[in-house]
Amino acid sequence: MAPPYRADHIGSLLRPQALLEARSGLSSASQMYNKEVPNGVKAAEAKAVKEVVELQRSKGVRPITDGEYTRHIYYGGFFENLSGFEINPELPIPDAFRTNFPTTTGLAKMGAKTRAVVKCTGKIEYQESPYLPEWIALRDTLPKSQWGEAKLTMPTPNYQHIQLKPGTAFTAGSGYKSDEEYFSDLAKCYAAELQTLYDAGLRNLQIDDPHLTYFCSSQFLDGCKTDGTDTDELLYLYIRTHNQLLAKKPADLHVGVHLCRGNMAGSTHWVSGSYENIADKLFNQTAYQTYYLEFDDSERDGGFEPLRFLPKGKNVVLGLVSTKKAELEDRNTIKASITKAAKIIAEAQGVTVEEALGSLALSPQCGFSSSSLAGGKGMTMDKMWEKLQLVKEVAQEVWAE
C-alpha cells in the first residue's frame, strides 16, 4: 500500500499575524484549551483557515490542512472536551511530573514554575466530538470532490499520562483503579471520534505522538527507573492503546502516526536519540499504515538504520526538510538521503531499491508551528512555502507520479 501522498506535510503551519493578534487577548487557559473563545476570535480563525486552504489549493500542496489555526497548540481541544477530564492550569514543576521528564526539565530551565495539564477526575466518556467542528470548518472550505485530499491531526492518547507523576493521571475520585482501565475507556473515545469524523467525510488522519521518542532518551529512561516505572511495560501499554483505538476504524480511513523530538519556539527540541530502541515494536506491533518520522538531523534522529525493521505493506514518510532552520535544503542531498533509506529497507525486505521506494514519501520533519509561537529560527511565511514547494518538486522527481 503506497503512502497517500509522495509529498506530504505534518499539518501545522505558521499562523498569520492577524490571527495571532486576534488571539493575543485570550487568557492562557483559553489559548491552550480553546475555552470561552469570543466570536471575534472565531471569525479570525475561520478567515485564516479559509485563506490558508486556498493557498494550499493554489500551490498544489497536499494534503490540505487547516494549519491547526483553531488551536494554540497541537494537542489542544481534545482531552478537555471528553467527559471525565478537568483542566489543571498550574501544576508545579517538577513535583507533579515524572522525574527528569525532558519537557518539564526543559521548561524549568526556561524559567517555568508550572505547567497546564488535563487530568481524569471521572468516568471517561465520549458525548460530543472534540474535533468534529474543526473538521467541518476545514471540510466546508473545499468542494466535496476534494474532501478526501484533506488531513486532520489529533494528539496521542498517552499525551497527559506520560508526563504526569506515576499514578496521578487520574484522581482517586475518578473510579479508575489502574492505567489499563483508564486507557481502555480513552481508546473507546478515540475509536468513536474516528468513526464520527469518518461519517462526516474525513479520510486521512494523523495521530501526533512525539513522546514515543522519549523511550529513546536516556534522560527519560533513567527518570522512569528512579520512579520505579518499568519502561517496557509502559511502552507496551501505549502500543496496546494505539491498537485499541485503531481496531474498528473504517477500512478506507488512512491513519498515520507522527513522531518527533520536540518542536518548541526557537527550534527547541527536548530529546535526541536513534529510533533503534523502539523501531521494531513501532513498525511491527502497532497497526498504523504510515509512520511520519523526522530525519533532518542525524545527530538528533540517529539515522536510517532502524528502517530495517519496516515490514512490507507499511509506509514511512521521511521528514528530511527541516522546519527548525530557514535555510533551504539542497535537493540532491535530499534525493541521496531518500535513496539511502530505500537501500536499507530493500536489503532488509529482500526487494529491489525501486520496490522499497514504493513504501516511502517525503515531508518536513515536523509541523511549522506546533504551537502558535513555535516557528523555527528565521522561519517566515515565504520560507515555509518555499520548503513545501521543495518537498513537492523533489517528490515529483524521485517518484515521477
Per-residue model confidence as pLDDT tens digits over 115-135 = 999 999 999 999 999 999 999
Question: Helix H segments across 129-263?
Answer: 132-139, 159-163, 179-199, 218-227, 231-246
Q: Percent helix, strand and coil across the chain, each rounded to 5? A: 45, 15, 35
The Cα 31–Cα 24 span in angstroms is: 8
pLDDT at 314: 97
What is the pLDDT at residue 53? 98
pLDDT at 267: 44
Residue 202 lies in a domain: yes
- The residue among 256, 199, 227 whose CA lies nearest residue 99 is 227
Other Cβ atoms within 10 Å of 203 Cβ, number: 18
Would you state the pLDDT for residue 89?
87
User: What pLDDT shows up at residue 269?
Assistant: 59
pLDDT score recorded for residue 301 = 61
Output the domain CATH number for residue 233: 3.20.20.210
**Of 401, 331, 326, residue with least CA distance to 360:** 401
Cα angle: 248, vertex 216, 222; to 5 degrees: 115
- The domain total for the chain is 1
Question: What type of residue sits at position 54?
Answer: E
User: Does 119 map to a domain?
Assistant: no
The predicted pLDDT at position 25 comes to: 82
Number of C-alpha atoms within 13 angstroms, CB side, residue 357?
17
C-alpha to C-alpha distance for 310 and 314, rounded to whole angstroms: 7
In a domain, 111, yes or no: no
CA distances for 65 relative to 29, 57, 183, 367, angstroms: 24, 10, 28, 11
Answer whether residue 393 is part of any domain. yes
Predicted confidence at residue 45, as pLDDT, reads 93
Give residue 298's pLDDT. Answer: 66
Handedness of CA 373, 77, 220, 166 (dihedral sign): positive
- SS3 sequence, 305-349? HHHHHCCCCCEEEEEEECCCECCCCCHHHHHHHHHHHHHHHHHHH
Domain span at residue 331 reads 17-73+132-169+177-399
* Domain membership flag for residue 343: yes
Q: Does residue 157 lie within any of the structural domains? A: yes
pLDDT at 31: 67
Judge whether 1 lies within some domain: no
Which ranges of the chain have pLDDT less than 70?
Answer: 1, 28-35, 262-270, 298, 300-301, 374, 401
Residue 97 lies in a domain: no
